[in-house]
A and B are shown apart, each in its own frame.
Chain A
Amino acid sequence: MSTSDSSSAAEGDSDSSESNEMVGYRQQPGKLPFSKPGSGGKNRFSEPTDQSMIPESKGGELAQPWGSHRHDGLVSGQVIGKPTSLVDSNWKVTGQAKYGDDIRLPGEIIGRILRSPHHYARVLSIDVSKAMELPGVLGIATGDDAPGKFGVLPVTKDEHAMAVEKVRHVGDLVACVAAVDEPTAREACRLIEVEYEILDSIHDIKMGLEDSENPIHDRGKYHIGESNVQKRVFQQFGNVSEMKENSIASHESNWTFTGVNHGFTEPHAVVAHWDPSGRLTLYTPQQVPHYLHRALADVLEVPMHQINVYRTFVGGGFGGKSDPFPHEMCAAILARKTGRPVRINFDREEVFWVNRGRHPSKISMSLHADSDGRLCGIETDALIDGGAFASFGHVTTYYNGVLHTAPYEIGAFHYTGARVWTNKPASGAMRGHGAVNSRCAVETGIDDLSESLGVDPIDFRLANLLPPHSATITGFRVTSIGMRECLERVKQESGWKEKFRKMPLGKGIGIGCGFFISGSGLPIHWDPNKFPHATVHLKIDMDGGVTVHTGAADIGQGSDTVVAQSVAEVLGLPLDMIRVRSRESDTSPVDLGSYSSRVTFMNANAAISAAMEIRGDLLKATSEITGASTESLVIGDRRIFNKADPAVGVSYLEALHKAQEDRGALVSSGSYRTPPMGRAHKGAAAGLAPAYSFSAYVAEVDVDIETGQTKVERVWAAHDCGKALNPLAVEGQIIGSCHMGMGQVLSEEMKYGRTGHLINPDLLDYKIPTVHEMPLVTPIIVESNDPEGPFGAKEAGEGPLLPILPAVVNAVYDAIGVRVDELPITPDRLYKEIEKKCRKEGIDDPLDLSPPTLDYSPLQDILEERAILHSERDIERRHDNDPPPYHNGALFGLDPEVPGDEQDSRWAAVVIPPEGYLDNPGLAGSAWKHVERRHREGQK
């Protein structure tokens, strides 16, 4: 049977080969015929190029109001810019995606962590003997098993796998147990006897500034006084000395932000396995596998090449899975001790112990405006509560300041920031890292300032924006800016003019803006200096499918999809011909991880450069087959052809096979590294990014003035992401950001009780908004076509969160005339403010309150006129391929082409407190009262 089948098949092929025979595929004597390869995809026929997707700079019909882009020539009309389901969505919706806790290895055992019941204590002894005797217990580890320190930032490694000497918060790791099942492991934890010496714990953030008998960590000679100050920042730019005298209106507020947690769906889980070759594979839902990889090598004292970090599907990260974690070390240590795969998965409560959520903060904000309606000064003092460990806090301390030096042109910027250790679960990076709280304070301040000036807050903003291709007051290089369009779109679509200050009591509308980094300019590990931030490898064998190797961690944001889209676009392939392998450090080139909104920008750029190399090979092969010059060729859907005469061309597979002659599979590598940027002052690198995103939201709220309950009814959300590579994903990010930000502004809060315990470490009492609380969100995508971004794209994952908080806060003011300075605006907090207002106005029934009104001052016309002029300026600059330099300060009369401090001594940059500052410092600024130990030693 089989013989006759194959012979008949051969006959059939031989028939067709006669008519289809072509160059390069001639049948060799004695060989089976080899048919023409076809297009390569599921559909045998290539689709005609969709001209509406081809940029007008390349003769297509895609309008480019922001000018052309360096990647225009790579557009094949396949997938970029089309709403695209995420490539892994079917895995998820059919339940086949394997998350951390879905990994099952033969012979696995269960690990469980014994945690500290004390806020702060010295561990005097740990006796595991009774626990070891419990049948089913296979191994126990304590801090002694891995005394090495680690931490996500090389400058602040202050974590251990388990307690070494001290425990620093309730829930801190003390020991871990591996047993045959969870109940046994739990029971064994109960049997471990730990002797503690309880130390005085610190819970109040302000206490962290004081000297302490037992600082939570010891930084050796770098320790700041004897305090718990982990990091302090002083920054002064622009004309600080005259900002107050130049002002005609000022805003002052003292904010309290409670801590919030990411609230991702999937609790942490990890599986560690030492294979028979003696290598460790660690399965974990990590956002930043590479830094974990480094930390594991340090702590376990094995070379990195002996470790394979396997990123499972990640059930949400938002920054909460971006540190190397002690429980990951514990699993590896237990697995090494027991010789069995060890799985640890967390209860929700343990997620709150690990935390790394947004810092509880006290931020005081002063804004000053001059008679021209210019923002002549911003003064910020941010004291942030780091909890028990450093985590990303070094960076957070900077971000709380530097990330609000744009989008407005400002006359002066004065920032003092400090991060203190307290005996709470560690704060860290969370979506909108370090920018969210101070942004809320700035944007509500501008609302207040506009009111004092008698102007519309949107017009105030429109008349004070930095132009495209400019430098901020701290020297950030800002390229594309779509801020103006964001503001104009939300103003129009929300019906702002008809609603603002005109709605009845209880109904209100508010505006908020955002500015965020699109990738950090300096990676966390910046040595060696020229190591790329992202690298992508491609491999294409004769089947035509493209294997993409990338280390970028898809955490649900769609990074696998973006990298696949980028490759598909450049090579003219349908998405199903791209397969992404991004899970294992063994096979993936290093990517620095999914943080600081860097992945789309950097990884897609790396993917494009890798795909360009293959594209060059394909064009050359086509040129060899057809005789057409490579310059005359374009790529369409699985076909490479002469642009002027599309009949001259070959299919993708034909070109591929030609290119593979004498070589086999095509492989290429592409990488991305940020260009040199920024200035030289201390801390200049914090906040540097190859591009920045911008956003403006308008929120409409309904406040029940008798109960203080706030319902957000509508949100118009405009975000400038440069270019929406996948509009579906961008809209998802915008809507998701609204949800997450609404949680922080309305209901989410890590509550600490009378005794310092976190009292709501569960999702019933940690109030994430439900579908009922969700407003109708109208996402508005603004595409400012960033010159350096892949196809013009910038980030859309974190920046969209920023504006929702101030937009809601400002809308609440518009509704009831109450300005809050504490988040979340839970009904009880707002009701207190309503009562205060009633008392102040001598009103009994809050229903008799009147909402604020607005009378325009003459400044309004001046601002509107300036906004028109600036709009013309901006359009001119964005179309200019080589616009002249523009430094913050031009609006205040300085030469735009030179940084302010280089032309006016009053604009000097200062990064340590000048004499006299400490006479009357801000709250965080008072951290500078301490002298570092190394400087004190000299004095003694």
Chain B
Amino acid sequence: MRMPPFNLHNPSTLEDALTMASELESSGEEFDWISGGTDLIPNYKWHLNTKRNVISLSGIEELHELGTNKIGAMVTLQELAESSSIHPLISEAAGKVASIMVRRSATLGGNICLDTRCFWYNQTEQWRESIDWCHKCDCGTGADCRVIPNQNELCVATYQADMAPVLMCLEAVIHLSSPRGSRSMPINEFFKLDGMTKNVLEIGEIVTHVTLPEDHSEWKGDYQKLRQRESWDFPEAGVAVTWKMGANGPSELRVATTGLESVPSLHIEEASRALENWNGQESVSSLSESIRKSVKPVLNTWFPPSYRRKMVKVLTRRACKGILEDQS
């Protein structure tokens, strides 16, 4: 399995990287960013939307910074899993990603920007040719979506990364840079509902780091992941829950999910409804049910969507276990 050849660019500063990107862009050349490469390289080997230029971010020192409230985009998932200074929920979620070998290369930024996945898409070129291609990589054919045929609008490939729901629940802010300047936003505003668009990143723009609010260490939380095997597998469903405890139960509560749709979701309404008349176990049950109802997975990953939905309920309940324990 060979990748098509590409030019690899190795900038050593952020400025150089952005300049390279804008130069390539203005000369009409296509490019991809590469950080750990554990997502991009397999996709390139499958000849999925390959570009002639790849800009590596690994030489840019400032992207590797890891502090209590700030995580550079190039910090590896294994660093996060092993870190004692970072919020334990982040370590826990990072430690559940893929396998240790993948985690040693894979980065936080790469995980956040993970390409969406689909049985009809993550295949070799020969295979995709045999289904006459698909919307997400149509090779100029204008092919239809194979998951939900006869709708040529939306790509429903699934977002299967573990870090986003946890960062959403900790209200992380994501910081982006491009030749046009920098911008920041709450991470749940970073994602855009479409399996191809995925997020707000514009051409030439990269994620530089995420920051966590000052009070993030006061939040407790849990992350539950559904997968066939305890290693390697992408989340078939993932639920993160964070809370702050008050006198009679949680005073604040956040729930976010991943692996179910083309974007991860922060379930603000469902969480606040559960908080309104908090009643321990019962509230957890109704919260779990409301989360289940709010997600709409499709048939394009290992487990069937009906099962994934049902499990969202179980995962949510399990992720809330700590609340009930704290309460008693």
Chain A positions within 8 Å of B, measured between CB atoms, are 115-118, 170-171, 182-183, 186, 347-349, 706-707, 747, 753, 755, 757, 759-762, 764-765, 767, 769-773, 826-828, 831-832
With A182-B2, A183-B2 already in contact, the answer to whether A761 and B127 are too (CB < 8 A) is: yes
Indicate if the CB atoms of B124 and A707 lie closer than 8 Å: no
A827 to B303, CA, bound (A): 9
Interface residues of B in 124-157 (CB under 8 A from A): 124, 126-127, 129-131, 146
- Cβ of A764: which chain B residues have Cβ within 8 Å of it? 232-233
Interface residues of B in 107-124 (CB under 8 A from A): 119-120, 122-124
A186 closest partner in B (C-beta): B2
Indicate if the CB atoms of A770 and B230 lie closer than 8 Å: yes
Indicate if the CB atoms of B124 and A349 lie closer than 8 Å: yes
Indicate if the CB atoms of A767 and B228 lie closer than 8 Å: yes
Indicate if the CB atoms of B127 and A349 lie closer than 8 Å: yes
With A349-B124, A831-B310 already in contact, the answer to whether A170 and B130 are too (CB < 8 A) is: yes
Indicate if the CB atoms of A349 and B226 lie closer than 8 Å: no
Indicate if the CB atoms of B307 and A828 lie closer than 8 Å: yes
Indicate if the CB atoms of A349 and B126 lie closer than 8 Å: yes
Chain B positions 287 through 328: 1 when the CB is less than 8 Å from some CB of chain A, otherwise 0: 000000000000000111001001100100000000000000
A762 to B304, CA, bound (A): 19
A706 to B314, CA, bound (A): 7
User: For the complex, is B231 an interface residue (Cβ under 8 Å from A)?
Assistant: yes
User: For the complex, is B247 an interface residue (Cβ under 8 Å from A)?
Assistant: no
A345 closest partner in B (C-beta): B1
B99 closest partner in A (C-beta): A770
Contact of A759 among B119, B226, B231, B310 (CB under 8 A): B119
- Cβ of A773: which chain B residues have Cβ within 8 Å of it? 229-230
A186 to B47, CA, bound (A): 12
A760 to B1, CA, bound (A): 16
B313 closest partner in A (C-beta): A706
With A767-B302, A826-B303 already in contact, the answer to whether A347 and B232 are too (CB < 8 A) is: no
A171 to B2, CA, bound (A): 18
A261 to B260, CA, bound (A): 28
Indicate if the CB atoms of A827 and B126 lie closer than 8 Å: no
Indicate if the CB atoms of A772 and B230 lie closer than 8 Å: yes
Indicate if the CB atoms of A747 and B310 lie closer than 8 Å: no
Chain B positions 230 through 252: 1 when the CB is less than 8 Å from some CB of chain A, otherwise 0: 11110000000000000000000
A770 to B232, CA, bound (A): 9
Interface size class of B (residues with CB under 8 A): 20 to 34
Contact of A827 among B127, B130, B228, B232 (CB under 8 A): B228
Indicate if the CB atoms of A347 and B229 lie closer than 8 Å: no
> Mind listing 12 A-B residue pairs with CB under 8 Å?
A183-B2, A186-B2, A348-B1, A349-B127, A755-B131, A757-B131, A760-B119, A761-B123, A764-B232, A765-B302, A770-B230, A828-B304
Indicate if the CB atoms of B307 and A827 lie closer than 8 Å: yes
- Cβ of B304: which chain A residues have Cβ within 8 Å of it? 828
- Cβ of A767: which chain B residues have Cβ within 8 Å of it? 228-229, 233, 302
Chain B positions 1 through 15: 1 when the CB is less than 8 Å from some CB of chain A, otherwise 0: 110110000000000
- Cβ of B231: which chain A residues have Cβ within 8 Å of it? 770-772
Indicate if the CB atoms of A828 and B303 lie closer than 8 Å: yes
A771 to B99, CA, bound (A): 11
B306 closest partner in A (C-beta): A828
A772 to B229, CA, bound (A): 8
A837 to B124, CA, bound (A): 41
A181 closest partner in B (C-beta): B2
- Cβ of A772: which chain B residues have Cβ within 8 Å of it? 229-231
Excluding A117-B129, A770-B99, A827-B307, 9 further A-B contacts by CB distance (< 8 Å) are: A115-B126, A116-B130, A170-B127, A182-B2, A349-B127, A753-B120, A765-B302, A767-B229, A831-B310
- B69 CB to nearest A CB, Å: 33
Identify the interface centre among A115, A171, A348, A762: most chain B CB within 10 Å of its CB. Answer: A762
Indicate if the CB atoms of B226 and A707 lie closer than 8 Å: yes
Indicate if the CB atoms of B228 and A826 lie closer than 8 Å: yes
A706 to B310, CA, bound (A): 10
- Cβ of A761: which chain B residues have Cβ within 8 Å of it? 123, 127
Top 6 nearest A-B pairs (CB, nearest first) are A828-B307, A772-B230, A117-B130, A770-B231, A759-B119, A347-B1
A762 to B126, CA, bound (A): 13
Contact of A769 among B1, B229, B307 (CB under 8 A): B229
- Cβ of B2: which chain A residues have Cβ within 8 Å of it? 182-183, 186
A314 to B221, CA, bound (A): 49
- Cβ of B302: which chain A residues have Cβ within 8 Å of it? 760, 765, 767
- Cβ of B5: which chain A residues have Cβ within 8 Å of it? 183
- A766 CB to nearest B CB, Å: 10
- B15 CB to nearest A CB, Å: 35
- Cβ of A707: which chain B residues have Cβ within 8 Å of it? 226, 311, 314
Indicate if the CB atoms of B229 and A770 lie closer than 8 Å: yes
Contact of A747 among B131, B146, B229 (CB under 8 A): B229
- Cβ of A117: which chain B residues have Cβ within 8 Å of it? 126, 129-130
- Cβ of A349: which chain B residues have Cβ within 8 Å of it? 123-124, 126-127
A63 to B275, CA, bound (A): 73
- Cβ of B303: which chain A residues have Cβ within 8 Å of it? 826-828
A831 to B304, CA, bound (A): 12
Chain B positions 200 through 239: 1 when the CB is less than 8 Å from some CB of chain A, otherwise 0: 0000000000000000000000000010111111000000
- Cβ of A348: which chain B residues have Cβ within 8 Å of it? 1
A442 to B229, CA, bound (A): 28
B3 closest partner in A (C-beta): A183
- B48 CB to nearest A CB, Å: 13
Indicate if the CB atoms of B228 and A747 lie closer than 8 Å: yes
- Cβ of A747: which chain B residues have Cβ within 8 Å of it? 228-229
